[in-house]
Copies of this chain bind each other. A is one copy, B any other.
Amino acid sequence: MGDAEAENTLAGIGEFGLISRMTTGRVQPAGTLLGPGDDAAVVAAPDGRVVACTDVLVEGVHFRLDWSAPDQVGRKAAAANLADVAAMGAVPTALLVGLACRKDTAVETLTGLVDGLWAEAELAGVGVVGGDVASSPTLVLSVTALGSLEGREPVTRAGARPGEVLALCGRVGWSAAGLAVLARGFRSPAAVVGAHRVPEPPYAAGPQAALAGATSMIDISDGLIADLGHVARASGVLLDVRSRAFDMPARLVDVGAALGVDPLHWLLTGGEDHALAATFPGPEVPDGWTTIGAVRRGEPAVLVDGRLYDGGPGGWDHFAR
């Protein structure tokens, strides 16, 4: 390998060269008290608590670099974590990234990943405050997000009570439709393919819901029915989703018709859009939220129009046979 070529790979610039590209010229928000470059970062936790979560994305499993540009993968990895923070009713305060990749990974790819992480972090008002890079045959991105509850109690999955309303904020089914399009070898419509490449979680809706008295909340990452199942079990309630409550997007109807798929299936089981679902005492729900069902007494379960949904696999278990 010539020097010119090597300079364009991770092996050429080295671990510290990559870290420099990750950190140089980036602007940290005020809450980053000590940014990258030391053994650890220091981040403000104004109310004496910190919200923390980790999400792992693996090439070939969660993304394909022939289907998504590197910056889109970076944005998606950040979004998955930032949405988890929002789902506690918290505002994000920082990201850390563990990156494992091949030595011959192009610097352009790595720069794209990092630019994407930063772009999504900035959308949520935070910075990438630290991380680590390691050599690995498989590209793996492990992102940790931190957040602040701003003095509020966390909104967990366990607070839903019978008689409350179930509401949703953000898109569901779009990423699944985009994935179906890509899997058939198409690259359009751009709206659904773009939704698969870069989700648009409603970060501000998390704290908004907490302030409005949400009794439970969850990030829809594996599919609406699957994730509502966690709320049902944690809260000991039955959740009844009304399929007609959704505004079925015309775009999903069109894509469904073209691919021979009922678009309701994508809405109910598609993951990776990172919408937020929450329960409220009701009957009102905050602006931007849509009531999609009700909380009832009963064995923990998720029903659609009063029945168990049998339209296909109910969600996404990474290791299911």
Contact = CB atoms under 8 A, between A and B. Distances in A.
Contacts of A131: 54
B88 A56 contact: no
A106 interface: no
A54 B134 contact: no
Given A6-B321, A144-B96, A43 B52 contact: yes
Nearest to A98: B142
A90 B55 CA distance: 25
Nearest to A105: B319
Contact of A52 (B16, B37, B58, B130): B130
15 contacts: A12-B321, A34-B154, A41-B51, A41-B52, A42-B52, A45-B48, A45-B50, A54-B130, A56-B98, A96-B144, A100-B138, A100-B140, A137-B138, A140-B142, A142-B142
Of A88, A158, A217, which is in contact with the most chain B CB atoms at under 10 Å from its CB? A88
B33 A318 contact: no
A29 to B, nearest CB: 14
A44 interface: yes
Nearest to A83: B39
A300 to B, nearest CB: 14
Given A140-B100, A147-B40, A156-B38, A318 B135 contact: yes
A48 B40 contact: no
Specify how many copies of this chain sit in the oligomer: 2
Contacts of A97: 54
A135 B156 CA distance: 26
Given A40-B84, A40-B154, A54-B96, 15 more contacts: A11-B320, A34-B156, A38-B88, A39-B87, A40-B51, A40-B88, A41-B53, A42-B51, A45-B50, A55-B98, A58-B100, A100-B100, A100-B142, A136-B138, A137-B138
Contact of A58 (B47, B134, B321): B134
Interface in A47-71: 47-58, 60-62
A147 B11 CA distance: 32
Interface in A230-283: 234
Contacts of A200: none
Contacts of A50: 42-43, 45, 50, 146
B38 A135 contact: no
A318 B219 contact: no
Sort A-B residue pairs by CB-CB distance and give the 9 closest, nearest first: A98-B142, A142-B142, A45-B45, A40-B53, A138-B138, A39-B87, A56-B134, A56-B98, A39-B84
A21 interface: no
B138 A52 contact: no
A40 B206 CA distance: 13
